[in-house]
Amino acid sequence: MKIIMLPFKVKRPILACGADLKGAFALAKGDKAYLFDGFGDLSELDNLTRYEKAVKAAEKRLNIKPQVIVSDLHPDYFSTQFARHKNRDTSHFSGTCAGRKMGSVPIFQVQHHEAHIASAIVDNDIRGNVFGVAFDGTGYGPDGRIWGGEFFIGNAKSFKRIAHLEYIPMPGGDACVREPWRMAASYLWKNRDTSHFSGTCAGRKMGCVPILIEKNINSPMTSSMGRLFDAVGSLVLNKKNSAFEAELPIELEKIVDKNEYGHYDFELKKGDGPISIDMSRTIKGILKDLDKKIPKPRVSAKFHNTIAEMILKIAKISKMKRVVLSGGVFQNRYLKESSMKLLKNNGFKVYAHSNVETNDSGIPIGQIAIAIENNNGDVSL
């Protein structure tokens, strides 16, 4: 258990149920939140059982009876289903931060990446608006798509999504996490690049990828930065599969040449809504370097530097001077440190995590903050 001092008062005791991949929950009362994590992937029955028992034990131990329950926006997360069960309600309701009095206790739903930014705001006791960068693998968006490369402005009361990675298909859905070559194939498909299908993307399954994408068969659209790292890792490292979460991105970071300061190009597409960031030029640049036998550590460094440049470019557009970095991708120390250095050198004040984890383990704290900022968790108002 970790005790987090809150920069606000909780009038009605809150249970925040967290997300799924890194199971965690928090109980909040007064000016304290009690954070419990380390439950692993809640889709595994043993982990979910431990999580459920731990919630019950923590409520008894801390003498906290929740009067508000906060869950992720994703309707299929086991943590969301747990929240509904605890509320004695099985109905589905959606919408970012949608709240209504259901069953015995009000449930408040919070968008995953907004919770990431809010958790960092609490962690750094920031008041007022910020420019928030939330990079991770998976999070449910209000548009029904899989988010993960997101840029916001605002505060825990209200966030506005101002930019995101361009949506790209995930051929095979969740299989892309275990088989990163699928995301590499998706980016190659987008670039209409068939010459690089050999090697990393070779095999019988490769031939079905264009069919899955073009016929929209089990190919949800994603803006995930985690999936982009998977794709680049597959191409650079010439590996098809991952034995564990983020294996290829971790290897990609390990080989970074810290003496390489170059970066690749990318395109910002501006329309009526948020800016869409097209990474086609980055992928083409990486493939060109690989074809020229540029050492992989230099290619890796240039890719990481590209993401840092992207953050800086959107930060300038945001016109905010305070930048918050959150999400599991920022466990990548090279990316976090290079991004912070670049931003600071350009006059920005940058905040990352210290007491609260940057990955999904910190999500419950952000959920509490957003619930509090919206009528102090009184979602029946």
**Does residue 299 belong to any structural domain of this protein?**
yes
Residue 206 has pLDDT above 80, yes or no: no
Same domain assignment for residues 173 and 254: yes
For the segment 102-123, the average pLDDT, to the nearest whole number, is 90
Same domain assignment for residues 30 and 79: yes
**Does residue 157 belong to any structural domain of this protein?**
no
Same domain assignment for residues 97 and 201: no
**Does residue 145 belong to any structural domain of this protein?**
no
Task: Give the pLDDT band (50/70/90) at residue 271.
Answer: confident
Same domain assignment for residues 188 and 312: yes
Task: Give the pLDDT band (50/70/90) at residue 186.
Answer: very high
Same domain assignment for residues 204 and 244: yes
For the segment 109-135, the average pLDDT, to the nearest whole number, is 97
Cβ burial of 56 (10 Å; 0-12, 13-18, 19+) is: exposed
- Return all residues near 270 (Cβ < 8 A) that are at least 6 apart: none
The token pair that represents 120 in the structure block: 């960092």
For 239, other C-beta atoms within 10 Å of its C-beta total 18
Same domain assignment for residues 100 and 173: no
Same domain assignment for residues 258 and 338: yes
Rounded to the nearest 5°, which phi and psi values hold at 197?
-70, -20
Residue 201 has pLDDT above 80, yes or no: no
Q: How many CA atoms lie within 13 A of 362 on its CB side?
A: 30
Distance CA 183, CA 352 (A): 28
- Residue 203: the pLDDT is 54
| N-terminal to C-terminal alpha carbon distance within the chain | 32
Distance CA 224, CA 170 (A): 10
- Residue 221: the pLDDT is 97
Q: In which domain, by residue range, is 186 found? A: 165-351
Same domain assignment for residues 172 and 302: yes
For 267, other C-beta atoms within 10 Å of its C-beta total 12
Same domain assignment for residues 327 and 240: yes
- Residue 366: the pLDDT is 98
Taking CA 187 as the corner, what is the angle to CA 183 and CA 190, rounded to the nearest 5 degrees?
135
Q: Domain total for the chain?
A: 2
For the segment 230-251, the average pLDDT, to the nearest whole number, is 94
Distance CA 102, CA 105 (A): 6
CATH of the domain at 361: 3.30.420.360
Q: Which of 22, 11, 16, 2 is nearest to 358 (CA)?
A: 22
Residues 359/22, Cβ–Cβ less than 8 Å: yes
Same domain assignment for residues 219 and 345: yes
Same domain assignment for residues 315 and 372: no
- pTM of the full predicted structure? 0.92
**Does residue 183 belong to any structural domain of this protein?**
yes
**Does residue 179 belong to any structural domain of this protein?**
yes
CATH of the domain at 185: 3.30.420.40
The sheet with strand 2-16 has its strands ordered as 25-36, 2-16, 68-72, 107-110, 99-100
DSSP H or E segment with residue 86: helix 78-86
For the segment 22-33, the average pLDDT, to the nearest whole number, is 96
Residue 88 has pLDDT above 70, yes or no: no
Same domain assignment for residues 340 and 210: yes
Give buried/exposed letters for 243-261 (b at 16+ CB in 10 A, else e): eeebbbbeebbeebeeebe
**Does residue 100 belong to any structural domain of this protein?**
yes
**Does residue 140 belong to any structural domain of this protein?**
no
**Does residue 91 belong to any structural domain of this protein?**
yes
Give just the sign of the alpha carbon dihedral 121, 125, 131, 135. negative
Chain centroid to CA 293: 33
Distance CA 42, CA 288 (A): 41
Distance CA 379, CA 293 (A): 58
